[in-house]
């Protein structure tokens, strides 16, 4: 966080924070790599924003140490850390023009007038605000204010940019546009980005890694495909998207995976047999299941009855009940759904061995 123009590497060791008797963050250990785009994902009250505020220096952790490029910065005040920060609601200076807002961090650093002028000009160009230099924040649209906030946070080339739910106030199409823009800014600047959101699709779309929080605990960190396809527990599995869960009995280790009984049929899993031991939950994403007339011998499949369908445009969402009464949702091509519903509703659900994964039975 100290050398301008150079992405920072951050190490959090055993960070905890209590507000009175409330434990907002518990024993968090996390490495944030140089130039990475890390998303902190979780529901409200999960501790993700508290961690961001600790990174910024606005909140002092109750325990643990924080290092930036190997230097202990746990006690360093916010103004000396100078991480770029974009707040929810932007927090622009309402009495300053766009130009003055962006120049603020440079003025604080006592840069020369010519350098300020040049860098502010470059930044305004980069975020597409040319022609708006003299306007006050209140005269700008939400998207434009967002750009000013990004420009102001990046103009002094901070080692890390912290973003607290920056898109929560924008409508959907603008959100997509700003997400793309932020991805571009991340590539251009090469700075470390730490981004807080409760929107899992935003997290999966933007990040190089996602850290999932719940109740003050860091549950899992990994690449978007890792946390989506191989969630560490039930909470992560459910938070990242819809998921079908079926009870699995007699789980046994097999070569390159595991086997078990799902509704009296033998099923196979590949690759993740860590949770092996008697009973478990078999979890499969809706888009990984298909509808078939019959499951071949040796193929993963269970019998089910279609009960409802929802047309989604590109696909149809089909709600089914299995023979043992479990509820399952699949996402299938429209004509497959129509055919399934017309055939007396009785179908087979199949899935590839590598797309199912095990979660511990019961609870989290």
C-beta separation of 289 from 330 below 8 A: yes
Q: Which of 82, 127, 212, 246 binds another protein (CB under 8 A)?
A: 82
Using CB under 8 A, which residues numbered 330 to 359 contact another protein? Answer: none
Q: Which of 35, 84, 216, 356 binds another protein (CB under 8 A)?
A: 84
Interface segment toward another protein; rule CB under 8 A; list 43-51, 119-127, 150-158, 273-281: 150-158
Q: Which of 111, 152, 198, 209 binds another protein (CB under 8 A)?
A: 152
Q: In the chain, count of helices (H) and strands (E)?
A: 10, 20
Under rule CB under 8 A, residue 166 binds another protein: no
Minimum distance, C-beta of residue 90 to another protein, in the bound complex (Å): 8
Minimum distance, C-beta of residue 91 to another protein, in the bound complex (Å): 4
Nearer to another protein, 107 or 249 (CB): 107
Q: Which two tokens stand for residue 93?
A: 């200076």
Nearer to another protein, 169 or 336 (CB): 169
Distance CA(57)–CA(96), nearest Å, equals: 25
Nearer to another protein, 83 or 203 (CB): 83
Q: Which of 5, 14, 43, 89 binds another protein (CB under 8 A)?
A: 89
List the x/- string, 41-60, binding to another protein by CB under 8 A: ---------------xxx--
Minimum distance, C-beta of residue 61 to another protein, in the bound complex (Å): 17
Interface segment toward another protein; rule CB under 8 A; list 103-111, 221-229, 242-250, 343-351: 103-111
Place of tokens 């300020």: 116
C-beta separation of 198 from 40 below 8 A: no
Nearer to another protein, 8 or 85 (CB): 85
Q: What is the largest CA-CA distance in the chain?
A: 78
**How far is CA 235 from its chain centroid?**
14
Q: Which of 105, 143, 216, 231 binds another protein (CB under 8 A)?
A: 105
Distance CA(233)–CA(361), nearest Å, equals: 10
Nearer to another protein, 105 or 286 (CB): 105
Characterize 31-54 residue by residue with b for buried, 16 or more Cβ atoms within 10 angstroms of its Cβ, and e for exposed.
Answer: ebeebbbbbbbbeeebbbbbbbbb
Nearer to another protein, 170 or 349 (CB): 170
Nearer to another protein, 82 or 359 (CB): 82
Beta bridge pairs of residue 37: 193
Q: DSSP of 67-97, one letter per residue?
A: EETTEE-TT--HHHH--EEEBTTB---TTS-
Q: Which two tokens stand for residue 6?
A: 């150079």
With CA atoms as reference, report the closest residue to 252 among 213, 226, 279. 279
Residues that bind another protein (CB under 8 A): 56-58, 77-80, 82-85, 87-89, 91-95, 104-105, 108-109, 152-153, 156, 162
């Amino acid at each position: 966080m100290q050398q301008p123009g150079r992405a920072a590497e951050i190490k959090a060791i055993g960070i905890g924070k209590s507000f009175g008797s409330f434990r907002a963050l518990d024993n968090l250990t996390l490495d944030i790599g140089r130039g990475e785009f890390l998303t902190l994902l979780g529901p409200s009250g999960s501790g993700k924003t508290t961690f961001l505020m600790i990174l910024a220096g606005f909140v002092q952790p109750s325990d643990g140490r924080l290092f930036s490029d190997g230097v202990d910065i746990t006690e360093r005040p916010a103004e000396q850390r100078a991480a770029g920060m974009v707040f929810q609601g932007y927090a622009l200076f309402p009495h300053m023009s766009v130009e003055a807002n962006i120049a603020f961090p440079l003025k604080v650093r006592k840069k020369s007038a010519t350098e300020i002028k040049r860098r502010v000009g470059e930044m305004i160009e980069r975020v597409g605000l040319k022609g708006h230099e003299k306007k006050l924040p209140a005269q700008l649209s939400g998207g434009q204010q967002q750009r000013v906030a990004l420009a102001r946070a990046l103009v002094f080339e901070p080692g890390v940019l912290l973003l607290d739910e920056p898109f929560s106030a924008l409508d959907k199409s603008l959100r997509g546009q700003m997400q793309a823009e932020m991805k571009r800014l991340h590539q251009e600047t090469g700075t470390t980005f730490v981004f807080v959101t409760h929107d899992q699709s935003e997290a999966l779309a933007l990040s190089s890694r996602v850290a999932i929080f719940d109740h003050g605990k860091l549950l899992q960190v990994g690449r978007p495909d890792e946390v989506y396809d191989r969630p560490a527990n039930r909470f992560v599995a459910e938070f990242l998207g819809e998921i079908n869960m079926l009870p699995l009995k007699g789980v046994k280790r097999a070569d390159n995976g595991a086997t078990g009984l799902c509704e009296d049929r033998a099923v196979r899993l590949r690759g993740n047999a860590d949770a092996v031991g008697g009973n478990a939950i078999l979890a499969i994403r809706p888009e990984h299941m298909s509808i078939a007339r019959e499951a071949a011998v040796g193929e993963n499949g269970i019998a089910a009855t279609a009960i409802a369908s929802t047309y989604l445009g590109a696909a149809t969402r089909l709600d089914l009940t299995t023979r043992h009464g479990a509820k399952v949702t699949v996402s299938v091509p429209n004509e497959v759904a129509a055919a399934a519903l017309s055939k007396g509703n009785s179908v087979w659900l199949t899935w590839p061995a590598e797309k199912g994964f095990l979660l511990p039975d019961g609870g989290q």
